[in-house]
A and B are shown apart, each in its own frame.
Chain A
Amino acid sequence: DAMVIQNPRYQVTQFGKPVTLSCSQTLNHNVMYWYQQKSSQAPKLLFHYYDKDFNNEADTPDNFQSRRPNTSFCFLDIRSPGLGDAAMYLCATSRERQFYEQYFGPGTRLTVT
């Protein structure tokens, strides 16, 4: 089945220790997104890639970076995690850029100690 896969599902990191979350997709979609979702809040878009074109949301902290080495993979790097970065991180894909149906992975729950 075509899908969006996120690894790991649970990640624990220490305050200030860099961490990388990964996402892969078998849907061959052009667009990949990273969202941050905190408890009882709406998912918040951090950035997205349209093919290799990177689009950063204006209020995404510089602490968050992303890489997309190929169509299938996208990484979220948190350079110096703070306690406030503990959240669920969702990866999503869509066929085209018009922000229509997005397909989500199961998410990675990040804990910062």
Chain B
Amino acid sequence: DQQVKQNSPSLSVQEGRISILNCDYTNSMFDYFLWYKKYPAEGPTFLISISSIKDKNEDGRFTVFLNKSAKHLSLHIVPSQPGDSAVYFCAASDRDQFYFGTGTSLTVIP
């Protein structure tokens, strides 16, 4: 039972454009959401997070949006850079458990 879903396994974006990665969840008890970035042969690296009391959190080129009514969050990367090419995992926590999505592979084309 996948409680966190990333329905797009891959995404290609032109350098300089916006990348939008999407994530859906089913458990309304989740109160904290995170995005991780993973390069090949490395472990996931924490990127950005958002608490359920907010609907937006911004850190430089990265912005996470949370729509609780739709149980949907998204990560926006603007502008996209070739170094952003990686697998992005969203994750959710209900303070008792930690759930990852299956990841979206982003390719930024120079």
A residues with CB within 8 A of B: 4, 6, 9, 33, 40-43, 45, 90-92, 98-107
Counting contact residues on chain B (CB < 8 A from A), the size range is: 20 to 34
B87 closest partner in A (C-beta)? A40
15 A-B contacts, Cβ less than 8 Å apart? Answer: A41-B102, A42-B99, A42-B101, A42-B102, A42-B103, A43-B100, A99-B93, A99-B94, A99-B97, A100-B49, A102-B46, A104-B36, A104-B44, A104-B45, A107-B43
- B44 partner, pick from A9, A41, A45, A90, beta carbons under 8 A: A90
**Cα distance A103–B97 when bound, in Å?**
16
**Cα distance A8–B84 when bound, in Å?**
27
Are A92 and B89 touching (Cβ within 8 A)?
Answer: no
Chain B residues contacting A103 (CB-CB under 8 Å) are 46
Can you list the 3 inter-chain pairs with the closest CB atoms, starting with the nearest?
A: A104-B43, A42-B100, A99-B93
Contacts A100-B49, A100-B93; A90 near B102 (Cβ below 8 A): no
B98 closest partner in A (C-beta)? A99
B3 closest partner in A (C-beta)? A42
Say yes or no: is B106 at the interface (Cβ < 8 Å to chain A): no
